[in-house]
Amino acid sequence: MKKITKDFFIFCIIIIAGITWFFPFSQLSIYKSFTYNPDPVVVEQYKDDLNRFKSKYNKNSRNQNDLTNERIQYIIEMYEEDSFLSDERSKITKHRLDSLLFEIVETRELLIELAFKESYERNADDFLRLLLEDTLALEEQIQNLIYSNSNSRFTLERQYSNLYMGFNRNLDLLASFYDDYAQNR
């Protein structure tokens, strides 16, 4: 009887360890995290794009104190996620995803405020609409990651990589919006 109990206990530990490894966000997983290993070339390009945008914003915002420039400084913070700026492996937890979701929700609210309180030229207005739609898509992607209890480690890593590329695209839209805004004000 003791042999069966011991074997059953070992079997349960092996099953839970397997579930923890293969399905990191499942209900039975002990450590609800996975490791993301970014592509160094993509990280370098992202950092270059972000730094280029920040320098352009800093140069233009010194001369203007309007709602758009004021809100953009808070929107930039969303793009400064540690795992996006480092080419080192990073541990992605639900808490980290919740923090990122909070940043995206704040950004969405700022973009909605800009859409309703400011008026822009036609192209800038279109870029703002695209930026807002893309931000909503990023919000949905993060929610899918957070609530993906049955996704495998491989699927989670691929989804996070897609999220990373979504942030890259979103940054490009912000830069396009800001370029058009700065030219036509």
Whole-angstrom distance, CA of residue 167 vs CA of residue 11: 42
* Phi, psi dihedral angles at 30 (to 5 degrees): -80, -50
Q: Where is 91: in which H helix or E strand?
A: strand 90-93
Tokens of 150: 């049955």
Q: What is the structure's pLDDT at 184? A: 82
Local mean pLDDT, 10-residue blocks, the chain (185 residues): 74 75 75 88 94 91 82 93 90 92 96 92 92 96 90 89 95 95 85
Question: Would you kindly state where each structural domain of the chain is located, as residue ranges?
Answer: 1-31, 36-183
The model's pTM is 0.88
Residue in the block written with tokens 């109990």: 5
Structural contact between residues 103 and 145, judged by C-beta atoms closer than 8 angstroms: no
